[in-house]
Amino acid sequence: MIRPYHANDANAVLDIWLAASIQAHAFIAESFWRDQLGAMREVYLPQAETLVLEEDGQILGFASLHEHRLAALFVAPGAQGRGLGKRLLDEAKRRRDLLELSVYSANTRACAFYQACGFAVLAEQNDPHSGHPEQVMRWQAE
């Protein structure tokens, strides 16, 4: 089931974010992600419209929307490969006519996922937080 995020979901969502970030971004030091936890908890999650995907009472993934940006889409490492990310993305698309996102260029799995889901690359830039190259992508409803 996909449902709105509640404040008491924060620990589960942050645990998924940290584990999936470390796994998907081996090219960035783990300490970088750990240093971002406070901002995720205090700034980014409260500002976003976040949806959680829950099965049998356990949160397995989440997506965060901020205006027309897909600010986050993460699935717990042990639950990846089951189509949960696609389900979350489809729900985000139902809520917006236009989505933009940034994804690290070195995260080839995520880049391919978004392109397979209809996103087009608009530009490449360096992420201001990590300095690593990222692709800016956009999807628009037809």
Rounded to a whole number, what is the distance in angstroms from the first to the last CA of the chain? 26
Query: How is domain 2-140 classified at the CATH fold level?
Result: Aminopeptidase (3.40.630)
- In sequence order, the 6+-apart residues with CB closer than 8 A to the CB of 25 are 33, 104, 106, 107
Phi and psi at residue 28, to the nearest 5°: -120, 140
Q: Give the per-residue pLDDT at 113.
A: 96
Q: What is the pLDDT of residues 14-66, one digit of tens each?
A: 999 999 999 999 899 999 999 999 999 999 999 999 999 999 999 999 999 99
pLDDT category at 142 given cuts 50, 70, 90 is confident
Q: Give the per-residue pLDDT at 53.
A: 98
Q: What is the pLDDT of residues 63-121, one digit of tens each?
A: 999 999 999 999 999 999 999 999 999 999 999 999 999 999 999 999 999 999 999 99
Q: Give the per-residue pLDDT at 92.
A: 98
Greater confidence, 129 or 51?
A: 51
Contact 50, 3 (CB under 8 A): no
Q: Give the per-residue pLDDT at 96.
A: 97
